[in-house]
Chains A and B, each alone.
Chain A
Amino acid sequence: MSRFADRFKELEEKGEAAFIPFVVLGDPDFETSFEIIKTLIKNGADALELGFAFSDPIADGKTVQEADQRALAAGMDTDKALSLIKKIRAFNKEIPISLLVYYNLILQRGIEKFYSNAKSAGVDAVLAADCPVEEAQPLLKAAKKSEIDQVFIVAPTTTESRLKKILETANGYIYLVSTLGVTGERTSLQNRTIELIKRVKPHSKLPICVGFGISTPEHIKGIILAGADGAIVGSAIINLIKKNAGNTKAILKSVSSFCVELKKATRP
């Protein structure tokens, strides 16, 4: 069984949903990023979603885009991102790690090489933000070879026929995009999110994790009530990194108390 499958099973037995924080590897710099990710793990993260900084992140809103730019400005690249993951894996052997990557970064390393490097660094799943199922064959082949779960997105616009194709292709979990639009904090949960969870849940063998705009404990409670198995929180955490820029202590303190609060919302 994969780390993701193990973790979801474990949580199900406890009657909990997964709290999955997202940060960009190397934001604001390599060392601080490592400290932040350790803090996430120590304060309730059930799994991690880690982003590779990219110059043109079209699926992301301003918050993640700025995080990408901070990381790139501090010298982040694919080699360094992989070595950061190795350090995280050495720190914690059990936590499932998923990557959010733009296709060109995978392509330029060589698709097979990317997946095998990711596997040896300790990665369990990969989501290519700009690669729909239609273009994913080369990724799926490499993922299978390296025993990595290839994760796909289901969006509010996803039609029934596309949903069927995605559910047949995806591994690990389904990343359900809560709203139309890019990543970013949002004030309230939309009815549409609830409807989408209810639409997908009965057909999915895989756990459903909801991301994009999930920013408060109330949002988390809302999606779990609708049937979600996990909540992915990115921009709200990244904004704490931005807000406390230059003060690592303050970043870690605010991130840890926020995580504790978010994890609490996933418990019955």
Chain B
Amino acid sequence: MTKGRFGEFGGQYIPETLMPAVEELEKAFYNAKNSKKFLAEFHGLLKDYVGRPTPLTFASRLSKKLGCKIYLKREDLAHTGAHKINNAIGQAILAKHMGKKRIIAETGAGQHGTATAIAAAKLGLECDIYMGEVDIERQKPNVLRMKLAGARVIPVSSGSRTLKDAINECLRDWTASCETTHYLLGSVLGPHPYPEMVAFFQSVIGEEAEKQILVAEGRLPKAIIACVGGGSNAIGIFKKFVQEHKVELIGVEAGGMGLDSGKHAARFADKKLGRPGVLHGTFTHVLQDKFGQIYNTHSVSAGLDYSAVGPEHSMLRKLKRAKYTFATDKEALAAFKFLSETEGIIPALESSHAVAYALKYAKTCDSKDIVIINISGRGDKDLDIVVKEMGGSLE
């Protein structure tokens, strides 16, 4: 097997021009991973700048309503309001160590773009963010935050004008600029070493959650539920528990307007359109037609609106170590409102997919069962969409 494989999935399917850059990155990452100095800098910034550890909050009212013990891993409380900052900080430090002056990144919901822009500001790097025009329109507050942090936001007008095309543009930029620029990819996607590297930087979520639940309850949870776009928040919280076979790991994809509508991002759940294929450098489950043309996806949440899933998820699913399901736009919106009302925590629309499935899953639990939901980000950025989707008012 070639490099960077998760079972049969993963690999490095990129043009020759980028191969030397990816080789250089792999070497730098493996050095950094084992460097005390690098790790001290990374964990130092996670603590003092990002505000880690993020709390594991016992959702008392929600637990009472659902009849089991629900804990929320509060990535919404990390600086910038989502888990994306963990990876952005890690890669930005790495870029600096590699002597790169500029970083580029794609963004869907704008959380990764914001995290990258802010990491760049903190570390004194030049920063360009590619963002689909559709996403710029629906995630305005994040666009403003990126600009405030000194990043240039470059609108992407090709193809679906969402995350997939923003990644295309990043890869094109990087092909021309790789000698001076680091591509700060935001999820467990792309060619090796990205899936492994992003998982490494995000695994702090699960490491904290394990310690926290042991302190709170003295035992591990029955299940961990996380939303899956590319899947970095999910891998981040799953990783620590993969060897704990009694802990169910559940990923929730975007069911959009329902599987039959064809308007969704359910790479696993839609058996007809979702098949293993190669997109953006990796072999994984991709929504595509029978010839291999990539399908445009739909989700109310920009961060889940992507045609492929991280290759490690494809492996975990094949090994039956993790289970994958989906929540529709409607279910996610209802969960968004429900969690806000019940706990005073406004989840991102992405994370609301995990909450939506947890509401169903809780029905299979008894009162002692512990469920952790990864609240990957906060929902302030989504208020406009939610109001619009609910017909102009929150009522």
Chain A residues near B (Cβ < 8 Å): 54-59, 61-62, 65, 69, 72, 77-79, 102-105, 107-109, 129-135, 152-159, 162, 166, 177, 179-182
Contacts and interface: CB of A to CB of B under 8 A. Distances in A.
Contacts of A180: 17, 175-179
Contact of A107 (B15, B164, B277): B277
B291 A77 contact: yes
Contacts of A104: 277-279, 286, 288, 292, 294
A135 B12 contact: yes
Contact of A56 (B159, B177, B179): B159
Interface residues of B, number: 39
Interface string B156-169: 00110000110010
A159 B20 contact: yes
A54 to B, nearest CB: 7
A177 B278 contact: no
Given A78-B291, A104-B288, A109-B291, A155 B16 contact: yes
B293 interface: yes
A131 B13 contact: yes
Given A104-B278, A135-B2, A154 B16 contact: yes
The secondary structure that dominates the B interface is: mixed
Contacts of A153: 15-17
B13 A135 contact: yes
Interface of B: 2-3, 11-21, 23, 158-159, 164-165, 168, 171-172, 175-179, 275, 277-281, 286, 288, 290-294
Given A78-B291, A132-B19, 13 more contacts: A55-B159, A58-B15, A58-B168, A77-B291, A108-B275, A109-B291, A130-B281, A132-B12, A153-B16, A155-B16, A157-B18, A177-B17, A181-B175
A8 B78 CA distance: 61
Contact of B176 (A65, A109, A182): A182
B227 to A, nearest CB: 23
Contact of B293 (A55, A107, A154, A159): A55
A179 B292 CA distance: 29
A158 B16 contact: yes
Contacts of B278: 102-104, 107, 130
Nearest to B22: A132
B179 A108 contact: no
B277 A108 contact: yes
Most A CB contacts (10 A, CB to CB) among B23, B168, B175, B280 go to B175
A130 B280 CA distance: 9
B159 A157 contact: no
Given A55-B159, A56-B168, A182-B172, A108 B17 contact: no
Contacts of B280: 56, 58
Contacts of B177: 180
Instruction: List 7 tightest A-B contacts by C-beta distance, closest first.
Output: A108-B292, A181-B176, A155-B17, A153-B16, A104-B292, A59-B15, A104-B278
A153 B19 CA distance: 11
A157 B293 contact: no
Most A CB contacts (10 A, CB to CB) among B11, B281, B293 go to B293
A257 to B, nearest CB: 31
A16 to B, nearest CB: 27
Contact of A162 (B20, B175, B178): B20
12 contacts: A54-B292, A55-B159, A55-B293, A56-B159, A56-B168, A79-B291, A105-B292, A132-B15, A155-B17, A158-B17, A158-B19, A181-B175
Contacts of B158: 62, 65
Contacts of B20: 155, 157-159, 162
B2 A134 contact: yes
Given A107-B277, A108-B288, A72 B293 contact: yes
Contacts of B19: 132, 134, 157-158, 162
